[in-house]
Amino acid sequence: MLDLLRIKDFRNLWFGQAISRIGDAFYFLGPMFVVKRIFDDNAMIGYIGAAEALPYLFFGPIAGAVADRIDRKKIMLWAEIICTIIMFAYFIYLMILPGHPPKWIFFVVGVTMSTVRVFFFPAKNAAIPRLVPAEKLFSANALSAGTDQFGWLIGNVLMVSLGMIADRVGVMPFLKILVFTNAISFLISVLCVATLPKIEILREEHHEDKHLFTDVIEGIAYAKRDRVIGLSLLTTIGLGLFISPFFVVYIATNEQWFGNKAAPLAFIETCFIIGMLSMSFIIPRLKIKKAGMAYSLGLTLAGICILIMGGSRFFGLYCFWNLICGFAIGGVDVPMRTYQMLKVPDEYRGRIMSLGQLIWMSVQPVGMALGGTLLGLLGIVKMHVFMGAGFALTGATPMLDKEFREATIPDRPSSTEGEPSAQSVTAEYPIGDAELEKV
C-alpha cells in the first residue's frame, strides 16, 4: 500500500475518491431512512432505487465510448464538478423549504446524480491501469475496493450518530447534514482530480471519423470475442436481479425484527462492509491468479450466507452471516477486475468497464421495482431464500465452462506487449512528473 501511495497521481485519485465515498455512504443510506420515516413506504424505496439505476441503462454504453475517446481526467473532473453543484443546490432547497420535502425531489436528485456518475466510473476504472505499473495493478484494485468499503464504513458509523439525532430531533436536520456532507466530499474530490495529468487514450488507429455508436458496437463485439469477459458480464445479469432488492429487505428486516431504529440498520450494513474491507486487504497476499475460479466460488459462498440470514432472527447472528457474506464478496471483484484491465487494450478499456456497469444497473430497475412487491408476497424469510438461492446459482453456473475456470490474470497489459510501458519505466526509475513528460 505504501508503494502505491508513493505514486502521486494514483494517491490523489485515491484520496479524492475515499472522501467522496464517505459522502456517498451518507447520501445513499440516509435518504432511504428518511423516506421510510416520512412516507413509510417500502415500495417507494424500491422505486427510488430503480429510478436511480435507469441512467445506467440509457447512458451506460455511451459513457464507455466517451471514456475511450476523451481525456479521462476531463470526464472525471467535470462529473465531480456537476455533482458538487447539484448537492449544494439541493442543500439550499432544503434550507428554504418549509416542512418535509415532496416525493418527487428524491427521484429528481437521485436520477440527476446517477446520470452524471454513469460517466465518471468507466473513466476512473479505465484510468487506474495508466496510473500504476502493471505489476501493482492487482494491489491498486484491492486498495481501491478496500478504500471504497472503508469510506462506506466510516459513513455508516457517522450515520449512526446522526441517526440517533434524527430519532430525537426529526428527520429534516438529519437530511440536511447528509446532503451538505456529500456536497463537501464532492468538492474535495474535484480538487484531487484536478491535480491529475492528462489521461488520453492509447490507440493503434485514428477514430475521428467514426460515429460514437460505432464505438459502442465495437466494444460489445470485443466482449463477445473474449469468452471469460463475456461470461462474467452475463453472470452480472443474475447478480443484479437477485441482489438489487437487498436494501429494501434490510430496511424491512430492521423494522420487523430489530426495532426500526437507524443504528441497527447502519450496523447491519457495517458488518457487510467490514467483511468486504477485510478481504480487500487480505486478497493481495493470497496471490490469486485464477480470476474465474475466485469469482464463482466467492459468489456461491455469498449466496449461501444470504440463505442462512433468512433464518437468523437473532440480531448478532444476522450480522455475523452478513459479515461472512461481505468477506466472500470481497474476494470476487478484485481478481476479475484486474483480469479485465490487463486483458483489454486501453482503447477498449472504457467500454468494457462500462458494459459490466450497464448490465448490472439495467436489471436493477426490475429487481428494485419488484423488491417491495415480492417482499410483501413472500415475507422476509422467503425473500432471503429467493435472493440467496438465485445469487448462489448465478455465481456457480460459469464454473461449468473450462475456459472460465482456468482464466489466469495476465502479467502485463495486452496493449503494451512487446514494449515497455511508461508505468514500468516509472516503477524501475522513480522520477518526477516533469521528467516523465520529457521521457
- What's the pLDDT tens digit per position in 206-241? 555 567 777 778 777 888 888 888 888 888 777 777
User: What are the residues whose beta carbons fall under 8 Å from the beta carbon of 147, sequence distance 6 or more?
Assistant: 14, 17, 18, 21
What is the reported pLDDT for 428? Answer: 36
What is the reported pLDDT for 437? Answer: 43
What is the reported pLDDT for 85? Answer: 94
What is the reported pLDDT for 365? Answer: 66
Mean pLDDT of 245-272: 79
pLDDT tens profile 62-103: 888 888 888 889 999 999 999 999 999 999 999 998 888 888
Do 244 and 369 contact (CB within 8 A), yes or no? Answer: no
**Residue 156, pLDDT above cutoff 70:** no
Mean pLDDT of 154-171: 65
Q: Where are the domains of the chain?
A: 2-197+216-410
What is the reported pLDDT for 89? Answer: 94
**Residue 149, pLDDT above cutoff 80:** no
What's the pLDDT band for 431 if we cut at 50, 70, 90? very low
Cell 494517491 belongs to which residue?
11
What is the reported pLDDT for 65? Answer: 83
What is the reported pLDDT for 161? Answer: 64
Mean predicted lDDT score pLDDT of the chain: 78
pTM: 0.70
Dist. CA 283–CA 144, nearest whole Å: 12
* Between residues 286 and 206, the one the model is more confident about: 286
What's the pLDDT band for 42 if we cut at 50, 70, 90? low
Dist. CA 276–CA 283, nearest whole Å: 10
CATH (one of 3.40.50.300, 1.10.10.10, 1.20.1250.20, 3.90.550.10) for 2-197+216-410: 1.20.1250.20
* Burial class (CB within 10 angstroms; exposed 0-12, middle 13-18, buried 19+) of 405: middle
CA distance between the termini of the chain: 26
Mean pLDDT of 175-186: 85
What is the reported pLDDT for 30? Answer: 67
User: What are the residues whose beta carbons fall under 8 Å from the beta carbon of 375, sequence distance 6 or more?
Assistant: 42, 245, 248, 249, 252, 383
pLDDT tens profile 355-381: 777 777 677 667 766 777 788 788 888
* Burial class (CB within 10 angstroms; exposed 0-12, middle 13-18, buried 19+) of 319: buried
**Could you tell me what percent of the chain has a pLDDT over 90?**
7
pLDDT tens profile 307-340: 999 888 888 899 899 899 888 877 777 888 888 8
User: What are the residues whose beta carbons fall under 8 Å from the beta carbon of 330, sequence distance 6 or more?
Assistant: 145, 149, 275, 276, 277, 278, 279, 280, 282, 283, 298
- Judged by phi (left if over 0) then psi (alpha if -120 to 50, else beta), residue 287 lies in left
**Residue 429, pLDDT above cutoff 60:** no
**Residue 297, pLDDT above cutoff 80:** yes
What is the reported pLDDT for 205? Answer: 55
Backbone angles phi, psi at 366, to 5 degrees: -65, -50
What's the pLDDT band for 138 if we cut at 50, 70, 90? confident
What is the reported pLDDT for 81? Answer: 94
Do 78 and 133 contact (CB within 8 A), yes or no? Answer: no
Cell 453472470 belongs to which residue?
235
Do 54 and 291 contact (CB within 8 A), yes or no? Answer: no
What's the pLDDT band for 390 if we cut at 50, 70, 90? confident
Do 236 and 60 contact (CB within 8 A), yes or no? Answer: no
Residue 344: how many CB atoms within 10 A of its CB?
25
What is the reported pLDDT for 434? Answer: 39
Mean pLDDT of 383-397: 87
Task: State how far the alpha carbon of 383 is from the alpha carbons of 27, 264, 324, 431, in Å.
Answer: 26, 20, 19, 55
Task: State how far the alpha carbon of 23 is from the alpha carbons of 2, 53, 124, 155, 183, in Å.
Answer: 25, 19, 18, 7, 8
* Between residues 169 and 409, the one the model is more confident about: 409
Half-sphere exposure of 181 (CA within 13 A, CB side): 22
What is the reported pLDDT for 417? Answer: 40
Dist. CA 144–CA 27, nearest whole Å: 20
Backbone angles phi, psi at 408, to 5 degrees: -110, 140
What's the pLDDT band for 426 if we cut at 50, 70, 90? very low
What's the pLDDT band for 433 if we cut at 50, 70, 90? very low
DSSP secondary structure letters along 112-123: HHHHHHHHHHHH
